[in-house]
Amino acid sequence: MRKGMTFTRFIFEEQRRVPESTGEFTLLLNAIVTACKEISDDVNRGQLINVLGSANTENVQGEMQKKLDIISNDIMLKALEWCGHLAGMASEEMENIYPISPQFPRGKYLLVFDPLDGSSNTEVNVSIGTIFSILRCPEGTTDPTEEDFLQAGTRQVCAGYVLYGPATNLVLTTGQGVNGFTLDHDIGEFILTHPKLTIPEDTNEFAINTSNFRYWEPPVRRYIEELFAGADGPRGRDFNTRWVASMVAEVHRILMRGGVFLYPKDSRENIGEGKLRILYEANPMSFIVEQAGGASTTGRERLMTVQPYTLHQRIPVILGARFEVERITRYHLIADSAD
């Protein structure tokens, strides 16, 4: 007998706690998870099925797409457009929103996703993942426009990611804490392996791409310089660096053993307000991190309160251990008030 509750049972039991629930949300989640199992399978087979390498196309943000970016995006669209629970979708890999074809029924939710986060890592067999966020479609709207997707992170109904690493993990929040599951390939089901995840308030581990040091603002440089100084500096203890270049893997590590992650604002022309996208990356990860007891900021305000004004808008992201995030925010306030 295997130990642990299946994801299917978990979400049905959650549904029973909400007597007025129609079951629509539960079925939508199941469909998302099925799509991610298919992506997991393709990622896992990799070069055996010739899905590695560049697709030689650019996405709307001018980034080169990998074959797996496009395949994962197509899997999500095809697995979810027919389900009847969505009124529309938006993805990091598509310029415009994806309306549900008239041949399918429409539902009350909107789905936004990054089909394959960290895809620069596909050829090197380093962990990558799918990030998703479920929003409510405005009441009475069956034909959503781009504007309907532009919701602050605090309005998310659910956020999650599936990490394709040595194991395939699903991590999910609906605003009642964070739970983690591991895919049991033998039975094709996710099993609840990490219930009620929490992030320690303090940490000695930080993740940032230090090659961008010269482009950062003074408060971020100050913070990182103090960490570099370790036991000899004002922090009086040593810190350790990690950088996977897959946000989904960084957030997973933070959920498992703590830490802080930064992709701050910088002065490069193509980055400016940050590299990561509000809707597909920053908001869902912030929801998960806050629900696990961590914090998330742009450096100047709580990230999930920022009102997006375009679909692919980018934002500075600083998230993880609460004490560190508060310290970095303080450094921004001090720097701004001195200006």
Q: Give the residues lining the site for ligand AHM (CB under 6 A).
A: 63, 92, 114, 117-120, 209, 245-247, 263, 275
Say which entry of ligand AHM, Mg ion, none residue 209 contacts (CB below 5 to 8 A, set by partner kind): ligand AHM
CB of 120 or CB of 154, closer to ligand AHM: 120
Tell me whether residue 109 or residue 161 sits nearer to ligand AHM (CB atom).
161
Nearer to ligand AHM, 86 or 247 (CB): 247
In this structure, what token pair is assigned to residue 255? 């959920």
Could you tell which of ligand AHM, Mg ion, none binds residue 246, using a CB distance below 5 to 8 A set by kind?
A: ligand AHM
Q: Which does 328 bind (CB under 5 to 8 A by kind): ligand AHM, Mg ion, none?
A: none
Of the pair 174, 246, the CB lying nearest ligand AHM is at 246
**CA–CA separation, 203 and 200 (whole Å):** 7
Pairing between strand 205-207 and 276-277? unpaired
Per CB under 5 A, 205 contacts Mg ion:
no
Instruction: Match 């560190």 to its residue by tokens.
Output: 324
- Site mask for Mg ion (CB under 5 A), range 102-131, x = bound: ------------x--x--------------
Please say which residue, 229 or 245, places its beta carbon nearer to Mg ion: 245
- Cα distance between residue 75 and residue 71, in whole Å: 6
* CA distances for 269 relative to 25, 99, 198, angstroms: 40, 32, 36
Shortest-Cβ-distance residue relative to ligand AHM: 247
Query: Mutual orientation of helices 283-291 and 247-257 as an angle, nearest 10°?
Result: 0
Residue 92 Cβ vs Mg ion, minimum distance, rounded to whole Å: 6
6, 191 Cβ separation under 8 angstroms? yes
Distance CA 289, CA 28 (A): 23
- Shortest distance (Å) from residue 288 CB to ligand AHM: 14
- Quote the CA–CA distance of 258 and 31 in Å, as a whole number: 31
Helix 322-338, helix 218-229: angle, nearest 10: 130
Quote the least distance from Cβ 126 to Mg ion, whole Å.
Answer: 14
Residues forming contacts to Mg ion in the complex (CB under 5 A) are 114, 117, 281
